[in-house]
Amino acid sequence: MKLSMPLVYAGNPRESADQVVALEKAGLDTIWVAEPYGFDAPTLMGYLAAKTETVEIGAGILNVYSRTPGALLQTAAGLDNVSGGRAVLGLGASGPQVIEGFHGLPYDRPLTRTREVIEVLRAGLRGERLDFQGKTIQVPLPEGRGLGLGKPLKLLNRPERADLPIWVAALGDKNVAMTAEVADGWLPFLYYPEKAKEVWGESLAAGAAKRSAGLKPLEICAGGMVAIGEGPETKALLDFMRPLYALYVGGMGARDKNFYNQLACEYGFEKEAKEIQDLYLSGKKKEAEALVPLEWLEAGNLVGPASYVQERIAAFKESGVTNLSVSPASDDPAGTIAQVKEWVS
């Protein structure tokens, strides 16, 4: 099992990026760089490539709308080159609030677009000319659109790897099935290991049944906060995760279109999901945070004595996770990473 973590920063991301060198020495395998609607991820990923030597540098995630497939190809191939073959391209549809609100683009046919983007990217990484006429992507533009002067082109530079890993962030049944069919890896969120098979088992199986023999088995990256220690003061650290869970379940999306609220319902927390959303959308965020089920917090994170953290690692592994993503809650993040690395190896 690999060990990864999201790059967490507030304000100046360089300060957090500079800490990755110590985490790499401690045994970190992958660092994920998010891009919701803050700084762009590729700039920071290039900075990380220059600062590190062995850690994989993953986009977690780039949305499939705001960059054309050609631009995504350039970004992926460029990052893989400057990192010496350490780039991981995480993709996702994001959500309508970000795509339509921040980027000003219609949130149209997200599953189809994700699938088609991956197909175009794979062709481009193989050094082929981009010639694809799909339902959401047409490269070159077909006759009757534009000036009619477009022709199939291929990347001028030779990609570092034709099989650069492409991961997809997905939650819904159809999206997870598509991911299991065509992607190298899957990035679920707010993951509950013991309920993963119940929620996603059929979708993963359906996608795997259609998976090309040329692809390696699907990788899965999931995890949460890690804090190792005895006593109630360690368990109390779980409360720091409440705002995150409440934000996504209660406020990430409209009332009738919130993927994370639906996930909470599928986990069996229907009552809590509705109450959290009602409170959050009415501005009562603290009250919403208080209703996040402790059961979910404990299962989705790794907080407690060393023996308990090891049990949670085993639970994530048993559920199919191949890359454990952790966010250390300690004064010595590198020391925590080194300890967890021993347990996952």
Is 80 exceeded by the pLDDT of residue 10?
Answer: no
Identify the band that residue 233 occupies on the pLDDT scale cut at 50, 70 and 90: very high
Asked whether 289 and 246 are in contact (CB, 8 A), the reply is yes
What is the tens place of the pLDDT at every residue in 26-55? Answer: 999 999 999 989 899 999 999 999 999 999
- Whole-number percent of the chain with pLDDT over 90: 93
Is 90 exceeded by the pLDDT of residue 14?
Answer: no
What is the average per-residue pLDDT within 89-96? 95
Full-model pTM: 0.97
What is the average per-residue pLDDT within 201-215? 98
Per residue, the 3-state secondary structure of the chain, as one string, reads CEEEEECCCCCCHHHHHHHHHHHHHHCCCEEEECCCCCCCHHHHHHHHHHHCCCCEEEEEEEECCCCCHHHHHHHHHHHHHHCCCCEEEEEECCCHHHHHHCCCCCCCCHHHHHHHHHHHHHHHHCCCCCCEECCCCEECCCCCCCCCCCCCCCCCCCCCCCCCCEEEECCCHHHHHHHHHHCCEEECCCCCHHHHHHHHHHHHHHHHHCCCCCCCCCEEEEEEEEEECCCHHHHHHHHHHHHHHHHHHHHCCECCECHHHHHHHHCCCHHHHHHHHHHHHCCCHHHHHHCCCHHHHHHHCEEECHHHHHHHHHHHHHCCCCEEEEEECCCCHHHHHHHHHHHHC
Identify the band that residue 12 occupies on the pLDDT scale cut at 50, 70 and 90: confident
What is the tens place of the pLDDT at every residue in 161-192? Answer: 999 999 999 999 999 999 999 999 999 999 99
Asked whether 176 and 200 are in contact (CB, 8 A), the reply is yes
Is 80 exceeded by the pLDDT of residue 9?
Answer: no
Domains in the chain, CATH or no CATH each: 2-229+301-344 (3.20.20.30)
Question: What is the distance between the alpha carbons of residues 305 and 2, in angstroms, rounded to a whole number?
Answer: 22
- pLDDT for res 33: 96
- pLDDT for res 13: 81
Mean pLDDT value across the chain: 96
- pLDDT for res 30: 98
- pLDDT for res 169: 98
Is 90 exceeded by the pLDDT of residue 149?
Answer: yes
What is the tens place of the pLDDT at every residue in 99-125? Answer: 999 999 999 999 999 999 999 999 999
Least confident of 13-17, 114-118, 267-271, 323-327: 13-17
